[in-house]
Amino acid sequence: MRGEDLQIDRGLQDQLDFTIGDALTALKKRQQADGHLIFDLEADATIPAEYIFLNHHLDEREPALEQKLARYIRSIQQEEGGWPLYHGGAPDISASVKAYLALKITGDSPDQPHMAKARAVIHRLGGAEKTNVFTRYALALFGEVPWRAVPVMPVELMLMPKWFPANMWRFSYWSRTVIAPLLILAALKPKAINPTNTHIPELFLTPPEDIRDWQQNPTGRWTGKMFLQLDKILRVVEPYFPKKTRQKAIAKAEAFFTERLNGEDGLGAIFPAMANSVMAMEALGYPKDHPALVTAKKSIKLLVTEENDETFVQPCLSPIWDTSLSAHALLEAGEAPMGESAKGACDWLASKQILDVKGDWAEKAPDLRPGGWAFQYNNDHYPDVDDTAVVAMALHRTQNPAYKEAIDRAEEWIIGMQSTNGGWGAFDIDNDDHYLNHIPFADHGALLDPPTEDVSARCLSFLGQLGMICRIPPSSAA
């Protein structure tokens, strides 16, 4: 190598070292006293919009906060007028309709330029009638569309045995926690109080009451056509389901989600499930001061992230993920494993391992000992192998013997969570009944939790780091 090239390389190395050192200092400043780190988890416009919907569904308004949420929603509106699901993405019809309704609820006039632009985009995308199922549920609760606008999902689904082709245990964790209270809402059909009497007929190309073909085949295949016919049959017979059976099913749905309310961390520790649980408890007649309802509402407020002029709502909190990735960064940057920052992060992570609760995953592995980590502060029913692998790899990198038992339990749990095809889903074993993706309800494309390449790769990385990548059948199968 010539001297001038070496000089350039040294300059780049110095710059790189400075940048890494600067980032390391910033990371340490974000570390909490107990060792963990947490960063904002920003989603799209739908979560702050749904927070506003919830307030107006219950008539529990927060005018100052809602104005900050509205400012945030306006700030992420695209120049052409729509709202995407991710930065730089195409405008999404469902996100745009929710954002528009939220802004109108908080006082924005349809005549304002940003609202006119949003309306034009929504019309171009087919009108509010083209929104996805979850958006149409929200619109049905506000009386914007008839209940026939949503697929028939009888609450009696809760009574189906595990062998039945469509039952709660065949859905992903996030679907289960969202659907259980949603089934109650679909059965009881409560109407949002909507104190501002806000409506959005201007977003529909066809008046909702005139639309006859609300349900669509999400995949376009013959299986989807079959499920569309089943939806039509269920729509006819559902009103004749026995009342006692319906009450039993509602009680079972209530028991399912109340057993998993998860304190101030909320049902499933994700906003959509939390919001549905609050609306379901209200629909069931829970008094305002009922401890479960009070705590569920508080769990939602903990997701509100206030800044100076704008406020957004996180879909969930991410301390385990943030701390584990930060621990890897600290160690990669040369921090001593027993140093204050790295050890503080790893000690905190070790303390959050779930060792005593057999969550929903145990339905497929009843004899497997718990040993995983969740994504959030507390979500004992729903640890995931993704977080578990990343956390355990960080603990293992320190070579601290104090973490050996935690790593061993993580290894045992991850191996036990391997699916039949050799891969790993995030939260469940063999959650891959792909025929369910053809039901009209599944148009959002996230009903299941099948094994995926990225989750499986992280599990293999963990097993490989332990030196067992080629020595045991699970690794070979993956």
Which residues partner with 362 through β-bridges?
A: none
CB atoms within 10 A of CB 471: 10
Task: Output the pLDDT for position 1.
Answer: 45
pLDDT per residue over 117-154, tens digit each? 999 999 999 999 999 999 999 999 999 999 999 999 99
The string of pLDDT tens digits covering residues 76-86 is: 999 999 999 99
**Dihedral over alpha carbons 287, 292, 298, 302 (to 10 degrees):** -150
Q: Which residues of the chain have pLDDT under 50?
A: 1
350 burial level (CB within 10 Å; 0-12, 13-18, 19+): buried
List Cβ neighbours of 131 (8 Å cut-off, separation of 6 or more).
Answer: 93, 94, 97, 139
Question: What does the pLDDT read at residue 108?
Answer: 99
Residue 74 token pair: 């306006």
Identify the CATH number of the domain defined by range 46-313. Answer: 1.50.10.20
Residue ranges covered by each domain of the chain: 13-40+318-477, 46-313
**Topology of the domain covering 13-40+318-477:** Glycosyltransferase (1.50.10)
According to the model, what pLDDT value does residue 6 have?
Answer: 52
Active-site positions read 386
Model pLDDT, residue 477: 62
Predicted local confidence at residue 471, as pLDDT: 56
pLDDT given at position 11: 80
Fold match between 13-40+318-477 and 46-313? yes
